[in-house]
Amino acid sequence: MTTLISSLSRRRLLLGTAAGAAAISTFTPTRFAIGQTAKLKVGLMLPYSGTYASLGNNITDAFKLRLAEVGGKLGGREVEFVQLDDESAPPKAKDNAARLLTKDKVDVLVGTVHSGVAMGMAAVAREENTLMVCPNAGAGALTGKNCSPNVFRTSFTNWQPGYACGPMLIKDGKKTVVTMTWNYPAGTEQIDGFKQSFTAAGGTVIKEILLDFPKVEFQAYLTEIAALKPDAVFVFFSGDGAVKFIKDYAGAGLKAKIPLYGTGFLTDGVLQAVGNDAEGIKTALHYVPDLDNAVNKKFVAAFKAATKREADVFAVQGYDTCTLLSVGLDAVKGDAKAGRTLYSTMQNTIVDSPRGRFTISAAHNPIQDFYVRQVKGGKDVLLGLAVKALADPATGCNMG
């Protein structure tokens, strides 16, 4: 960490001078041979092992797919990737991010999936004044009380999908609910968002069950739920944990008795693995693979052709991360340290995403539509709009 801090202070000193400012406005990437420009180093700090590995892989592959579509360059510079497996381990987050910046000397940080890891990364990105784009993790503080001019998110805040879900259950006549999730910000913030809109519309949460991340010993809780007989169960689980939960829920005989709902992360990317056990699950999310727009149709086909896998929300977020970086860096000729010009270009971009067009809030989080979906015939299908242009309240954000 000492190296990180001292390199930081040196940069601040440089930027504080007129010479530093002039150097930035006339930026030309380092040339290492005639006609060749230094590569832009992108650090992909994502989970490539553990329960969220498939999410990290889809983000990575879709980012690279989009990069190929825009000609393989960002801001006129060829891209070199440095990939780091963050293991969804918050205690390692700061050291990992610092290593990417000081040892690997990446120009841009992209990551991550896990809210706790993303907060550690963002603390380092802020300290180092390095552009960071978060392609998944929904920690509210990232674009709330810890918001920062150099930190952007192309995904969601945990509050958004949770909040979008409440009315869906009320419309289905479900008034009493047991919630269940992992005890870390993604789980607790999504359940809080859900409770806000669900209880405001007359629903009651009769029991909240929390497990440590990434535990998957669900059995005793499922027995308890069967005895409580709520109208419905509402959960956040994702990745391998979601696969296990959906299978155990059906295995415990609850599927036919108590309808299962959740934020859409429950079913995205897991449907092939769970088969019939997921049939009928209703969720809300900012993406559905069958969305009828040209960008989505092209994306779904291209992702399948490139990876032999189905597109999901995580792939969309990786794809859009590259789009946003491409627009921003093109505007500053590849100068990832351009600061205000770069950040204001990014904030004012309307991203033409497979999820539909979205804008970016002053706190740097997407303002986007949420959809009601249901698993039918092994696929998530669109049932309708849940909430139009939902913006996170960004409580406590002050960009300074």
Minimal distance, residue 22 CB to ligand PHB, in Å: 40
- Chain positions 306 to 325 lying near ligand PHB, rule: CB under 6 A, are none
Nearest CB to ligand PHB, comparing residues 136 and 353:
136
Minimal distance, residue 141 CB to ligand PHB, in Å: 11
Stretch that binds ligand PHB, among 77-85, 111-119, 120-128, 378-386 (CB under 6 A): 111-119
User: Would you list the DSSP string of 189-232?
Assistant: HHHHHHHHHHHHTT-EEEEEEEE-TT----HHHHHHHHHH--SE
Nearest CB to ligand PHB, comparing residues 181 and 361:
181
Tokens of 24: 């930035």
Query: Which residues in 86-202 belong to E strands, given as ranges?
Result: 108-110, 131-134, 151-153, 176-182
- Chain positions 155 to 214 lying near ligand PHB, rule: CB under 6 A, are 158, 186
Q: 53, 100, 109, 113: which one contacts ligand PHB (CB under 6 A)?
A: 113
Nearest CB to ligand PHB, comparing residues 39 and 234:
234
Burial class (CB in 10 A: 0-12, 13-18, 19+), 12: exposed
Tokens of 73: 């360059």
Minimal distance, residue 200 CB to ligand PHB, in Å: 23
CB-based contact 287:58 (threshold 8 Å): no
Report the distance separating Cα 134 and Cα 318, nearest Å: 9
Nearest CB to ligand PHB, comparing residues 29 and 264:
264
Total residues belonging to the chain:
400
Size of the site for ligand PHB (CB under 6 A): 11
Q: 198, 221, 265, 319: which one contacts ligand PHB (CB under 6 A)?
A: 265
**C-alpha separations of 349 from 142, 213, 272, 358 in Å:** 19, 35, 35, 9
Tokens of 180: 């269940």
Nearest to 84 by CA among 131, 44, 115: 44
Nearest CB to ligand PHB, comparing residues 75 and 135:
135
Q: 45, 93, 137, 147: which one contacts ligand PHB (CB under 6 A)?
A: 137
Minimal distance, residue 329 CB to ligand PHB, in Å: 26
Nearest CB to ligand PHB, comparing residues 67 and 186:
186
| Widest CA span in the chain | 74
Minimal distance, residue 351 CB to ligand PHB, in Å: 19
Minimal distance, residue 389 CB to ligand PHB, in Å: 21
- Does 355 engage in binding with ligand PHB (CB under 6 A)? no
Minimal distance, residue 206 CB to ligand PHB, in Å: 25
Please state the φ and ψ torsions of residue 244, each to the nearest 5 degrees: -65, -40
Strands 204-211 and 176-182: parallel
Residues of the shown chain interacting with ligand PHB in the complex, contacts defined by CB under 6 A: 113-115, 136-139, 158, 186, 238, 265
